[in-house]
Amino acid sequence: MTDRPRITACIVCRNEADKLVPALESIRWVDEVLVLDLESSDGSAALARSHGARVIGRSPVPIVEAVRNEVADAAAGDWILVLDPDERVSPGLAIRLDSLRDRDDIDAVVVPRMNIDFGYQPSSPLHRFEPQLRMYRRSRVRWPSFPNALPDVAPDRLHRIESQDNLVLIHDRSRTVSEVVDRVLRYAPEQGKAMVDDGQVFTATQMLAGLARKAHREFVVGEPWRDGIPGMFRAGLLVAFHFYVWAAFWEASGARRTAADDRVVRRLRLMFRLAGFAARAAASAQRARHRLTRLRRTL
């Protein structure tokens, strides 16, 4: 009987000692844990070694995508399980991934990721079961260097795990607002530069269309009001991140002001005027309701 294909869990880490332990404890079932440490100063490397991980080091990079292939190339496993320090594999997902290593008809596995922001689980499937390619055959798949991009795998070689709470990759994405700001400051400029390097050309039309799609996705499809204030902040911060990406893209493109872009932006005047009218009407209606309530109390 031949040995089963091996799984290496790969983590890229820089000063993540306060997050690492849950991640490491959730992957005890894999054959190897490999941590690429980016010159941490908080003891992350020593902590990883104490939990049985093999640790290699290199100089820091601003975004993790730049070194995904580097750490995978140093792995001993046939399969790579990609894990961030703020993620952990649920027990049900561990069992499912362990069984999938024996499949020879697939090259990659997409898992549902539950993004927890400010300590609150999301209600919407958009963030409760976000599809993420996280396990792949090392000999067949390479990770793209573009920020926030995922590998391109043929659909017939891709296995998707169903969206169930017991099968999720748990992601403590945003514990504090300062963490969100730090991530935005690291990723947005890199993504803007990558868009230029990819040959994309900035236009106001594309920017507004992209932001409109993102706002619709987060504030309409995502139904953030179901999660109260945490949900609204989640949606707002995600849209703000994309606004910063477009600003970084414009700056990396030369920060040019063009007549065509000016014409597009001027068309926003009507939209802003309508929004102002709607806001004033809503405020007037609210004041009328308050006056009516006070009147009823006096009767």
Give the model confidence (pLDDT) of 227-237 as tens digits: 999 999 999 99
Helix 177-197, helix 228-252: angle, nearest 10: 30
pLDDT digits (tens, 9 = 90+) for 254-264: 999 999 999 99
Residues 281 and 255 in one domain: no
242 and 140: one domain? no
- Are 19 and 145 within one domain? yes
> Total domain count for the chain?
3
> For the chain, how big is the Rg over CA atoms in Å?
23
CA 188 to chain centre: 12
Please report whether residue 48 resides in a domain. Answer: yes
Q: Which pLDDT band, with edges at 50, 70 and 90, does 12 fall under? A: very high
**Contact in structure between 13 and 44 (CB atoms under 8 Å):** yes
Same domain membership, residue 161 and residue 13:
yes
Alpha carbon of residue 246 to chain centroid: 17
Res 145: pLDDT: 83
How many angstroms separate the CA atoms of 7 and 79, rounded?
A: 5
Q: Are 108 and 127 in contact (CB under 8 A)?
A: no
Within a domain: residue 2? Answer: no
The verdict on 14 and 137 lying in the same domain is yes
Euclidean distance between CA atoms 146 and 247, whole angstroms: 17
Report yes or no on 1 lying in a domain.
Answer: no
Same domain membership, residue 203 and residue 109: no
Same domain, 242 and 190: yes
**Residues 153 and 289 both lie in one domain:** no
Domain span at 285: 267-299
Q: Is the pLDDT of residue 92 over 80?
A: yes
Question: Residue 140: what residue type?
Answer: R
Classify the C-alpha dihedral 163-169-172-173 as positive or negative: negative
Q: What is the model's pTM?
A: 0.85
Sequence-ordered list of residues with C-beta below 8 angstroms from that of 31, at least 6 positions apart, any chain: 6, 7, 8, 76, 77
244 and 259 both lie in a single domain: yes
Q: Does residue 260 sit in the same domain as residue 276?
A: no
Assess if residue 196 is contained within a domain: yes
Does residue 72 form part of some domain? yes
